[in-house]
Amino acid sequence: MAQDGTHRGGRRTRAGTKPKPLIDKIAEGKPAEVLDPTLPDVTLLVGSDIGEGADLEGADMPEPSEYLSAKQKDGTPLGADELYRETWAWLHGRGCSHLVSPRLIEAYAQNFARYIQCENAISHFGLLGKHPATGGVVTSPFVTMSQSFQKQANVLWYEIFDIVKQNSIVSYDGSTPADDLMERLLQTKK
């Protein structure tokens, strides 16, 4: 610690070797910790008779929030609920759906849906607009919004994909929901 009370020097954040994905550790025969919520971390549980017990219902996928399918100003639904379901199904297929927060998936789905919405507006209105005061040519505000939503969606996707990469015991090569969404975006521009 320096005289002014600040910490200086030392190891930089994110320095050093990066952790290997779980699937690679298993393939190399190295010890790996698999996060499995079905296996309790206790050796023996002793309990008394609980009678009838509770009538529990299992839910496969948490339902997306209402705002993901809200009607937009033009009357069409946002469509983020469909992106949420596709992403959750992709995570579930890799055994990682229990590791990713539903709110993280919702945030990703909403940002990607807004990105698609901005790209459709760019296709409809064009890349240029008219300045309200001077009447000169300006860049369409949808371009800036599109870039912002795409950046946010990518950051969230990298978070989700990092969880899959570090914890999946199934190979994650191949297409991802993001690839499928890009394909859909390109098809809507026709």
Average pLDDT per 10 consecutive residues for the chain, totaling 190 residues: 72 78 84 67 60 58 87 89 93 87 95 94 90 90 94 95 83 62 64
- Domain-embedded: residue 184: yes
Q: Is the dihedral of CA 63, 121, 152, 35 positive or negative?
A: positive
Total number of domains in the chain = 1
The Cα 106–Cα 151 span in angstroms is 16
At residue 130, the 3 state secondary structure works out as strand
Residue 135 lies inside a defined structural domain of this protein: yes
Q: Which pLDDT tens digit goes with each residue over 27-53? A: 888 887 776 656 555 555 566 666 666
Q: Give the closest residue to 177 by CA, choosing from 91, 110, 101.
A: 91
Phi (first) and psi of residue 189, to 5 degrees = -80, -5
CA neighbor of 83 nearest in space, from 66, 69, 95: 69
Count other Cβ atoms within 10 Å, centred on residue 58: 4
Does residue 61 lie in a domain region?
Answer: no
Q: Is residue 87 part of a domain?
A: yes
**What pLDDT shows up at residue 35?**
67
14 part of a folded domain? no
